Amino acid sequence: MAEKTCAACDYPLDGDAIKVTIGGRVVEVCCEECALKLREAEASP
């Protein structure tokens, strides 16, 4: 089975992954810092 990784930094995810909706898709990230990076990238023009 493939290991899940963070959508922002490719760090291996554990049971404490944070779900973030980006562009209508739900992705999982490892920490709040990565979630913020993705949200900022989506908001930028």
From the list 21, 23, 5, the residue with the least C-alpha distance to 13 is 5
State the virtual CA torsion across 43, 39, 34, 11 in degrees, nearest 10.
-90
pLDDT at residue number 33: 97
Q: Do the beta carbons of residue 32 and residue 38 sit within 8 Å?
A: no
The owner of tokens 């995810």 is: 13
* Residue span of the structural domain in which 12 resides: 1-45
- Mean pLDDT for the chain? 93
The reported pTM is: 0.83
Over residues 25-42, the pLDDT tens digits come to 999 999 999 999 999 998
**How many other C-beta atoms lie within 10 A of the C-beta of residue 1?**
3
Counted domains in the chain: 1
**Whether residue 11 has pLDDT greater than 70:** yes
